Amino acid sequence: MTEPAADPLASDLLRGHTDTIVLSVLQRADRYGFEIFKAIRQATGGAHEIKEATLYATYRRLQKDGLVESYWGGETQGGRRKYYHVTDAGRAVFHRNVAAWNTTRDIIDNILQIGK
């Protein structure tokens, strides 16, 4: 790539949303770690990546909290792939987090309008 392109998505703005984002990606189907990484990178139009280190730490945390389960899957190329599957608890947390996000978004939108 030619440019890092003045990343508008600062790390701290992502903070706290990473779990929800990962759970969201896993909602439709099981996916392996690197796939989730690529899916998120693509969803931002390549404008931003959540760093691998961040994501793999997130997977560990989600698993520790029982929100996802993992299993080794058939590797076609490259390294072995560890797949993640959302548990019922994970689904519940996801829905709660989405609700929290909606609330937060509206509140911030509302406050920022004051300064206009």
* Chain contacts with DNA (rule: CB under 7 A): 11-12, 14-19, 32-35, 38, 50-54, 56-61, 75-83
Q: Does 28 bind a second copy (CB under 8 A)?
A: yes
Cβ contact 69:87 at 8 Å: yes
H or E element that contains 58: helix 52-64
CB-based contact 30:84 (threshold 8 Å): yes
Which listed residue (44, 65, 72, 92) binds a second copy by CB under 8 A? 44
Q: Which is nearer to a second copy, 10 or 53 (CB)?
A: 10
Q: Which of 47, 50, 4, 6 has its CA nearest to residue 24?
A: 50
93 binds, among a second copy, DNA, none (CB under 5 to 8 A by kind): none
